[in-house]
Amino acid sequence: MTTLLISHPSSLRHVTPPGHPERADRMRAVEQALEDERFALLQRVEAPEGTLAQVELCHPAAYAQAISEASPQEGLVQIDADTIMSPGTLAAVLHGVGGAVHAVDEVMSGRVSNAFSAMRPPGHHAESDKAMGFCFFNNAAIAARHAQKAHGAERVAIVDWDVHHGNGTQEIFWGDASVLYASTHEMPLYPGTGAPSERGEHGTIVNAPLRAGDGTDVFRDAFESAILPRLDDFRPDLVIVSAGFDAHWRDPLANINLKEADFAWATQKLMAIADRHAGGRLVSILEGGYDLEGLSKSTAAHVMALMRG
């Protein structure tokens, strides 16, 4: 069995202004890292373009249409203070959706062991009807709903270790007992959500915030004490990872001090959960990570762990 890597050139054509942290060079750094001979056994495919029907698994049709209609023919359009559309953005966003859905299809069908969708822009800040924090459509949430609708998954767990709380994923599944959302993140930090008291209507939201300056020990303790036991109790049919690498010590947008080995460790822990409860089924979706060296090395460690290397 193999690990599937999903990407698409459209990720390079989502243009942001000079100095913007969510830039095309992020994809170049990821691609270069995964060209190493250690990754020769990866199965590689280009993402299909997602459909508005797939987007509407988590977002109202009117919102999906509004994002589509906001796409400029030239220049840049500002959706909010830091979320920007260029002429290439819509295609990148839809291929991100398509990549997440394709990853679920391949993993749930048993054609691959697990999958990593390496696309930009990220998605976990996108709420059901609001683009924000560089995000337009919530790829991880769409992947979870697709697993349920198309493949009959009863319980899906989404684990988010991006340094910024995934407010969008939390909002989408706040009242849903069939999806567990668990997050480690720096707090206080953008977007301001993610307190432990935020538990959802059915207790299926698990927030384990970290403080500025925290590193390996506190992160691993939060995972082992707050998140992993809840995942075992939940017994997911599929594990989805919102894999942001901006908790790396080099990242300029936060103050957590993780190393590449921490992301590999967390990957292995989630793979063990998937092995126990979900037949090994795990889908990882790239979120943040804004220092190019930290992003490339952390991605390599994550994917090597997925390959059971």
pLDDT, mean of residues 214-227: 98
Question: Which candidate, 189, 187, 66, 193, places its Cα nearest to that of 130?
Answer: 66
pLDDT, mean of residues 215-222: 98
- Over residues 24-67, the pLDDT tens digits come to 999 999 999 999 999 999 999 999 999 999 999 999 999 999 99
Q: 297 with 171: CB under 8 angstroms?
A: no
- Over residues 134-173, the pLDDT tens digits come to 999 999 999 999 999 999 999 999 999 999 999 999 999 9
pLDDT at 1 over 90: no
pLDDT, mean of residues 217-226: 98
- What number of other Cβ atoms are within 10 A of residue 53's Cβ? 9
- Give the start-end residues of each E strand in 100-155: 114-117
Name the catalytic one among 125, 185, 248, 302: 125
Q: For residues 52 and 67, give the distance between their C-alpha atoms in angstroms, rounded to a whole number.
A: 11
Q: For residues 140 and 122, give the distance between their C-alpha atoms in angstroms, rounded to a whole number.
A: 9
Please, is 109 exposed, middle or buried when counting C-beta atoms within 10 Å of its C-beta (0-12, 13-18, 19+)? exposed
The answer to whether the predicted template modeling score (pTM) of the entire model surpasses 0.95 is yes
- Which pLDDT value is given to residue 236? 99
- Which pLDDT value is given to residue 309? 81
Q: Which residues contact 185 (CB under 8 A, 6 or more apart)?
A: 160, 161, 162, 163, 164, 165, 166, 194, 207, 209, 210, 247
Q: For residues 228 and 93, give the distance between their C-alpha atoms in angstroms, rounded to a whole number.
A: 31
Q: For residues 204 and 170, give the distance between their C-alpha atoms in angstroms, rounded to a whole number.
A: 10
pLDDT, mean of residues 68-85: 97
Cross-strand pairs, 283? 115, 240
125 annotated active-site = yes
pLDDT, mean of residues 290-300: 98
- Over residues 171-210, the pLDDT tens digits come to 999 999 999 999 999 999 999 999 999 999 999 999 999 9
